[in-house]
């Protein structure tokens, strides 16, 4: 794309150098990824200022710079477009460079403290089972049809976002289910993304290190609904899908002009209502009341929170053209989500579950589901992130675990540069009991849990779920929770077989 065409998308700017002959073939904000023909965005971020790396980008072949500070000494004669807000312009130009890909897709955005990953995967499963090519952008990965791409953030930056959406368009994907985090909304990562439908799951304390108050946190979450705007998309209405059981729903309803579809486990007036819920070890059944009909649902997931997630997914699919019965039929074969109530098979008679629960609300809902299962003892392994994370929820996480489990092993999650013992001590707070211990090393904690467990016990590993890395004092190491649990159980089994053989 010609440099002048990019510049013409910006109303107020200062151009230094001749951009009429510049041909841009790549967009980057990371100087390490610059190749010949790149337009480089000098983003002044929270930790790194891209202006400092303009010379590196120039050396690697950048042909155009977008900056807010003088970089003439670093880039020589290479043209520069100076603007006030590089991040905002980056999103705008990325959208234009990739020819507005989200406008060609059925975009369903899901926001909320908990449930985003499960809801997006449920939606994606419904569409796939109804013979449509799909995409997912979220916490675990970016997925274009069957091609998996790694992800760093729940919602990627605008360059990766629009590039990924463009790849979906090329691959003739029809629907993209996208997790939209509060950080993404706050930092403008979805600027320019044209959503058909916004889904709200719930709002509970989290990320208050960034948003400071629940009111501000809710306001940020509502930006996804406000972004739906007042216009049709490709001649079709836009929709907001809202969980009526969450107190924030009352405020959210007034923050969008889109048609609202509601779901609930308790309010029969909701458009999608679940009743007669029955919970089993490996599935949940319920009757879905929607659109004047009753549908019998059998879901291979457990827990009332997963019923709520399912209602959200069915509602979002319905307003975008999938018939309710077709969605219900599809979900009967749903294969689950990595790190979300993920059972680990073993021959020891121990129920082992890996789950991402890392907030008080998520943990409370998880425990509520666990209480419906049959077991002798319940043991929970849990910790909390360190560094610049919201430490106000630590006592609540500890209390929920200690009050409901027979035994708790506190351990590290991602302590970063914070003392793990300090984190665990804050979680225990004023607890006087003795039904817990500290094991700093997370892998050792997993083995300790398996060591303590006996046949008939339920052991639950909370906080990391799908995550593939553990962040320790400036170093990130590979960490696969489910695999370590599977390994510990297998080794215990082999040890017991050896003892019995003797």
Can you say which residues are annotated as belonging to the binding site? 31, 112-118, 153-155, 181, 187, 189
Whether 135 contacts 143, CB under 8 Å: yes
Q: Are residues 263 and 308 in contact, defined by beta-carbon separation less than 8 angstroms?
A: yes
| SS3 track for 98-143 | CCCHHHHCEEEEEECCCCHHHHHHHHHHHHHHCCCCEEEECCCCEE
Instruction: Give, to the nearest 10 degrees, the angle between helix 116-129 and helix 304-318.
Output: 50
Which residues participate in the annotated binding site for ATP? 112-118
H or E stretch covering 161: helix 158-170
The closest of 383, 350, 367, 368 to 454, measured between CA atoms, is 350
The helix (run of H) or strand (run of E) holding residue 410 is: strand 407-410
Report the SS3 class of residue 6. Answer: helix
CA triplet 263, 269, 274: central angle to 5 degrees? 50
Q: Which helix (H) or strand (E) holds 485?
A: helix 481-501
β-strand pairing of 106-111 with 134-137: unpaired
Phi then psi for residue 459, to 5 deg, are -115, 130
Q: Give just the sign of the alpha carbon dihedral 108, 113, 116, 117.
A: positive
- In sequence order, what are the residues at sequence separation of 6 or more whose Cβ sits closer than 8 angstroms to the Cβ of residue 352? 343, 344, 346, 450, 453, 459, 460, 461, 485, 489
């Amino acid at each position: 794309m010609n440099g002048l065409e990019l510049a013409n998308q910006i109303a107020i700017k200062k151009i230094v150098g001749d951009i009429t002959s510049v041909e841009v073939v790549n967009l980057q904000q990371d100087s390490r990824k610059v190749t010949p023909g790149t337009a480089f965005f000098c983003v002044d971020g929270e930790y790194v200022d891209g202006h400092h790396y303009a010379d590196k980008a120039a050396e690697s072949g950048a042909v155009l710079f977008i900056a807010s500070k003088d970089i003439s000494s670093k880039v020589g004669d290479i043209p520069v477009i100076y603007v006030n807000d590089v991040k905002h312009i980056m999103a705008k130009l990325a959208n234009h460079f990739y020819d507005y890909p989200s406008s060609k897709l059925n975009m369903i955005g899901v926001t909320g403290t908990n449930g985003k990953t499960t809801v997006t995967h449920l939606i994606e499963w419904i569409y796939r089972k109804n013979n449509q090519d799909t995409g997912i952008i979220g916490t675990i990965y970016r997925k274009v049809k069957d091609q998996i791409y790694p992800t760093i953030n729940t919602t990627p930056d605008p360059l990766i976002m629009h590039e990924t959406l463009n790849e979906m368009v090329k691959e003739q994907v029809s629907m993209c289910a996208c997790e939209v985090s509060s950080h993404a909304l706050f930092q403008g990562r979805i600027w320019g993304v044209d959503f058909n439908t916004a889904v709200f799951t719930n709002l509970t304390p989290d990320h208050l290190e960034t948003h400071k108050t629940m009111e501000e946190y809710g306001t940020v979450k509502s930006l996804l609904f406000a972004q739906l705007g007042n216009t049709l998309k490709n001649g079709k209405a836009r929709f907001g899908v809202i969980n009526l059981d969450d107190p924030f729903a009352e405020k959210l309803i007034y923050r969008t002009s889109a048609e609202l579809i509601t779901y609930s486990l308790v309010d029969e007036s909701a458009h999608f209502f679940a009743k007669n819920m029955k919970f089993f070890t490996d599935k949940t059944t319920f009757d879905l009341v929607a659109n004047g009909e009753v549908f019998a649902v059998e879901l291979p997931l457990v827990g009332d929170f997963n019923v709520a997630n399912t209602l959200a997914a069915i509602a979002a699919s319905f307003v975008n053209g999938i018939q309710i019965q077709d969605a219900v039929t599809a979900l009967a074969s749903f294969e689950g989500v990595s790190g979300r109530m993920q059972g680990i098979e073993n021959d020891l008679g121990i129920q082992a579950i890996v789950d991402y629960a890392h907030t008080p609300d998520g943990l409370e809902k998880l425990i509520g589901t666990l209480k419906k299962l049959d077991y002798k003892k319940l043991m929970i392994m849990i910790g909390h992130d360190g560094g610049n994370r919201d430490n106000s929820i630590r006592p609540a996480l500890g209390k929920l675990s200690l009050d409901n489990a027979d035994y708790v092993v506190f351990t590290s999650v991602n302590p970063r540069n914070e003392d793990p013992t300090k984190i665990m001590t804050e979680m225990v707070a004023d607890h006087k009991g003795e039904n817990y211990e500290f094991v700093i090393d997370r892998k050792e904690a997993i083995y300790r849990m398996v060591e303590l467990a006996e046949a008939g016990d339920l052991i639950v590993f909370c906080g990391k779920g799908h995550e593939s890395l553990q962040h320790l004092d400036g170093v990130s190491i590979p960490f696969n929770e489910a695999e370590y649990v599977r390994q510990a159980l297998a080794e215990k089994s082999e040890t017991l077989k050896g003892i019995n053989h003797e």
